[in-house]
Amino acid sequence: MTRVTIENLDRSYGGVRALKEISLEILSGEFVVLLGPSGCGKSTLLSAIAGLDPVQGGRILFDGRDVSQLEPSAREIGMVFQSYALYPTMTARKNMSFALRVGGASAAEMDARVNWAAQLLQIEPLLDRKPGAMSGGQRQRVAIGRALVRKAKLFLFDEPLSNLDAKLRNEMRIEIRSLHDKLGTTFIYVTHDQIEAMTLASRIAVMDRGEIQQFGTPDEIYRRPMTRFVADFIGSPGMSFLDASLDADGAAAALDGGRLPLSGYGYIDPPTGATKVTLGIRPERVIVDRAPGPGRLAARVRGVEPLGADSVIWLNLGGQTLSARVSPDQAQDLPPEVYVAFDLQGISLFDPITGLRL
Amino acid sequence: MTATRRAARIGLYSFLILSAAFFAIPMLIIVLTSLKTADEVRAGSIFELPSAPGLAAYAKAWSEACIGRSCTGIGTNFWNSVIITLLSTSISLLLSSLNGFALALWGLRRAGWVLGLLLIGAFIPYQVMIYPLVRMFAMGGMHNTLGSIVTVHVLFGLPILTLIFHNFYLSLPPELLKAARVDGAGFFQIFGLIILPMSVNVLLVAAILSVTGVWNDYLLGLIFAGPKFQPMTVSLNGLVGTQFGVPEYNVNMAATLLTALPPLLLYLLAGKYFVRGVTAGAVKG
């Protein structure tokens, strides 16, 4: 088990800064997911933690020990790659024992470790097959097994499920989760898939353009996004953003369709005067009514997307787009004009210029 | 099949047969002549079939024919060629695969520059470098030795072979290398345990290119090999050029066939790879 401390990490490729002064404290035994769109620097950060990519500034510490200059093999890590990266000319057994072999372990020890990992992952029947004779899911299991065999104190996963089909991905997700529960080792997991992040992580680091936008539990990330980017990136369908004017005391906001009470909103810094804000609202926190009422705003229905379990209604609120997630019954036979109210729990206010949460 | 298509087919096949004949007829003459006796060659047309086909000319070419004043045939030179080819090819393959691996996958700085220089090396006519090389070997005291001819072949083979390996290794997933580094393997362990076992096909291609190139070489063998390790091609020229009285065309032809046999056999046994070797420089991956 390893506590990972990252201090002011910097990495540039040519003129592009892939990582900008990244600092992160990952506790021992945590399951941390690095989440972000492609090009956000999440894989670069993982490579830096693994030692595969040299860093230009800052330090990486494992349990307080500076490992920034150590080779990957000296960091006691196990790593699983998106393309599995199994050695194609070796059987699963040889693949899994490779690290021990180059480390000079005895045959008995290699057998014991491989059998232990194979049993844990239920891949014993595959041990004498080569990667070419396995399915994608089996290969990924063997790749995880190869990482396990090394007695690593830290496991790194670089988009391990992206090459699998949807059903297999769900199964493997559950397996990786239970593997973490069994081993109790620190896991760092890179993905662009927010569902993987939300279901697996004990904490998520949302990254964009080489910076960590927010580091928190899945619940915090979802309910209290600290920047507009995080609010926009997490959730499907995404949060709707509306331009609004905040009253001087912050207790209400004026929108195109009417006024919205905001008393009880948890401001980080209470507003000091009337100001323009971006008001974000989660679709499932939009209440759709067919009749006007106090605190309800008039909106035009633009379309309905049935998703099976629920439906998404796309609305036009004074020229701005708003989505609402409702039950399929509610979405049936809608009049062209409806009235919406917002649940305060689903509202986030952002500074329209800096994008920071208010 | 319509009449025009049939006509096109006939035209096509006539052209192909003619082209094949263009190369096959000299070959046929060589084979026919080598099976005749010297008298029969002088008496008849070159297209006549041998009346009593025999391998006497081959035996003579191998062990008795005169090259200059020594009449020991080209048999010993065959073994010289074998030694030169084996040494040059194995050293070339080892160095160029290692080179290609380092340049393609090891993330060296300026790897692109080195490749560019190699490419230039592959296109400079090697005749340009002969004189400086002769001077260098003479100064180093190894002119006209086995070492010098092998060194020269390795040097001139490296650029194109390195490019072939480099292009092949570029097509491997870079994550493979990362996984091996996490597993704790060093440069040579990764190369020997993971990369080389995956390179069987490209090794064959490169070996075919190298073997045919080295075996068929004449000029470098003439200049650098010296009398002790004279390759077969050079002695063949000596044999054909040596005349006591009447030229023995049957022996000359037999010696020519013997010299050409190894690349021919290689082509017959590994034709698939041979074609790949020829196109390897042209197409990436």
Q: Which of A20-24, A210-214, B241-245 has the lowest mean pLDDT?
A: B241-245
Q: With a cut of 50, say whether residue B83 has pLDDT above it.
A: yes
Adjacency order of strands within the sheet including A252-255: A258-261, A252-255, A240-246, A275-281, A347-350
Q: Give the pLDDT confidence score for residue B1 in this predicted structure.
A: 61
- Residues A203, A30: Cα–Cα separation, whole Å: 8
Instruction: Report the alpha-carbon distance of residue B24 to residue A181 in Å, rounded.
Output: 74
Query: B76-234+253-284 maps to which CATH number?
Result: 1.10.3720.10
Find where tokens 């609202």 sit: A281
Counting residues of chain A whose pLDDT is more than 70, the rounded percentage is 100
Q: Does A77 sit within 8 Å of B181, measured CB to CB?
A: no
> Could B184 and A103 be called an inter-chain contact, meaning their C-beta atoms sit closer than 8 Å?
yes
- How many whole angstroms separate alpha carbon A37 and alpha carbon A232? 11
Per-residue pLDDT band at A162 (split at 50, 70, 90): confident
Instruction: Give residue B284's pLDDT.
Output: 35
Q: Which residues of A touch B181 (CB under 8 A)?
A: 52, 71-73
- Is B178 close to A79, i.e. CB distance below 8 A? yes
- What's residue B84's pLDDT? 94
Number of Cα atoms under 13 Å in the Cβ half of residue A209? 2
Is the pLDDT assigned to residue B198 strictly greater than 60? yes
- Euclidean distance between CA atoms B66 and A121, whole angstroms: 74
Provide mean pLDDT across the span B153-177: 90
**A26-35, B85-94, B140-149: least confidently modelled range:** B140-149
**Alpha-carbon distance A34 to nearest alpha carbon in chain B (angstroms):** 19
Which residues pair with residue A244 across a beta bridge? A277
Nearest chain B residue to A149 by CA: give it.
B183
Q: Which of B227, B194, B199, B259 is nearest to B61 (CA)?
A: B259
A279 exposure class (CB count in 10 Å sphere: 0-12, 13-18, 19+): buried
- Provide the token pair at A170: 């769900």
Q: What is the pLDDT of residues A83-142, one digit of tens each?
A: 889 999 999 999 999 999 998 889 999 999 999 999 988 899 999 999 988 888 899 999
The residue among B102, B67, B18 whose CA lies nearest residue B255 is B67
Percent of chain B with pLDDT over 90: 33
Instruction: Say if the Cβ atoms of B180 and A98 lie within 8 Å.
Output: yes
Mean pLDDT of chain A: 90
DSSP bridge pairs for A10: A57
Residue linked to tokens 């004009």: A337
> Between chains, do B182 and A82 touch, taking CB under 8 Å as contact?
no
For B184, the closest chain A residue by CA position comes to A73
Q: Which of A47, A102, A158 sits opposite B183 (nearest CB)?
A: A102
Mutate to test the interface with A, among B171, B182, B187, B195 (most CBs of A within 10 A): B182
Interface test with B, best of A43, A80, A81, A139 (most B CBs within 10 A): A81
Q: Would you place residue A294 in the very low, low, confident or very high pLDDT band (cuts 50, 70, 90)?
A: confident
3-class SS of residue A8:
strand
Contact B183, A102 (CB under 8 A): yes
Which residues of B touch chain A, with CB atoms under 8 Å apart?
173, 175-176, 178-186, 189, 193-194, 197-198
Please tell me whether the peptide bond between A237 and the residue prior to it is cis, using omega within 30 degrees of 0.
yes
| A204-235 burial: b if 16+ Cβ within 10 Å, else e | bbbbbbbbbbbbbebeebbeebbbbbbbbbbb
Q: How near does any CA of chain A get to the CA of B186, in Å? A: 9
Least Cα separation, residue A161 to chain B (angstroms): 15
Measure CB to CB from residue A85 to each of B173, B184, B197 and give the nearest one: B173
Nearest CA in chain B to A156: B182
**Residues facing residue A288 across a β-bridge:** A340
Taking 90 as the threshold, does the pLDDT of residue A323 lie above it?
A: yes
| Nearest-Cα residue of chain B relative to residue A146 | B183
Partners of B189 on chain A (C-beta within 8 Å) are 102
The per-residue b/e assignment along B137-163, b for 16 or more CB within 10 angstroms, e otherwise, is beeeeebbbbebbbbbbbbbbbbbbbb
CB contact under 8 A, B182 and A78: yes
Residue among A263, A248, A264, A269 nearest A351 (CA): A269
Q: Give rounded-to-5 percent helix, strand, coil for chain B.
A: 75, 0, 25
Question: Is the confidence at residue B10, as pLDDT, over 90?
Answer: yes
Phi, psi of B199 (to 5 degrees): -100, 15
B178:A85 CB<8 A:
yes
Please state, in angstroms and rounded to a whole number, the distance separating the CA atoms of residues B201 and B197: 10
CA distance B116 to chain A (A): 21
CA distance A114 to A122: 12
Q: What stretch of H or E contains B260?
A: helix B249-269
A156–chain B nearest CA distance, Å: 11
* CA A212 – CA B66 distance, rounded (Å): 83
- Residue A25's beta-bridge partner residues? A5
- Chain B interface mutation, best of A47, A94, A98, A153, highest count of B Cβ atoms under 10 Å: A98
Whole-number Cα distances in Å, A261 to A15, A35, A180? 47, 34, 44
B179 with A72: Cβ contact below 8 A? no
Q: Which of B181, B189, B194 sits opposite A72 (nearest CB)?
A: B181
The size of chain B, in residues, is 285
Which strand ranges, in their side-by-side order, compose the sheet holding A320-326?
A: A286-289, A337-342, A297-306, A311-317, A320-326
Residue B43 confidence class, pLDDT cut points 50, 70, 90: confident
Q: Rounded to 10 degrees, what is the CA torsion of A165, A169, A172, A178? A: -170
Mutate one of A43, A73, A97 to test the B interface: name it (highest B CB count within 10 A). A73
pLDDT category at B282 given cuts 50, 70, 90 is: very low
Q: What is the largest CA-CA distance in chain B?
A: 76
Interface touch B182/A73, C-beta < 8 Å = yes
pLDDT of residue A197: 93
Average pLDDT, chain B: 86
pLDDT at A142: 93
Mean pLDDT of A297-314: 90
> With contacts defined as CB-CB under 8 Å, which chain A residues touch B188?
none
Distance from CA of B243 to the nearest CA of A (A): 57
As to burial, measured by CB atoms within 10 angstroms (0-12 exposed, 13-18 middle, 19+ buried), residue B43 is exposed
- Name the closest residue on chain A to residue B196, using Cα atoms: A89
Q: What is the pLDDT of residue B283?
A: 40
Alpha-carbon gap: B202 to the closest alpha carbon of chain A (Å): 15
| pLDDT tier for residue A6 given thresholds of 50, 70 and 90 | very high
**Using one digit for the tens of pLDDT, what is the confidence trace for B246-277?**
778 888 899 999 999 898 888 888 877 766 65
> Which residue of chain B is at minimal alpha-carbon distance from A51?
B182
| pLDDT computed for residue B188 by the predictor | 93
Mean pLDDT of B274-284: 53
- Mean of pLDDT values over B210-230: 90
Task: Strand A186-191: give its sheet, edge to edge.
Answer: A77-80, A154-158, A186-191, A31-35, A203-208, A211-216
Residues of B with Cβ-Cβ distance to A79 under 8 angstroms? 178-179, 182
Q: Identify the pLDDT of residue B276.
A: 64
ipTM of the complex: 0.82
Q: How many CB atoms neighbour CB B112 within 10 A?
A: 10
Contacts of B186 in chain A (CB under 8 A): 102
Integer CA distances (angstroms), A201 to A170, A190, B161, in order: 15, 11, 49
Q: What is the pLDDT of residue B285?
A: 34
CA B111 to chain A, closest CA, distance in angstroms equals 16
Nearest to B184 among A47, A85, A102 (CB): A102
- Output the CA angle A195-A197-A201, nearest 5 degrees: 135
The residue-averaged pLDDT of A144-152 equals: 89
Listed in order, the ranges of chain B carrying CATH 1.10.3720.10 are: 76-234+253-284
* Top-confidence range, A267-276, A290-299, B20-29, B62-71: B20-29
> Is the pLDDT score of A164 beyond 80?
yes
Given an 8 Å threshold on Cβ–Cβ distance, is A79 in contact with B198? Answer: no
* Largest Cα span, chain A: 78
User: CB atoms < 10 A from the CB of A320, how many?
Assistant: 17
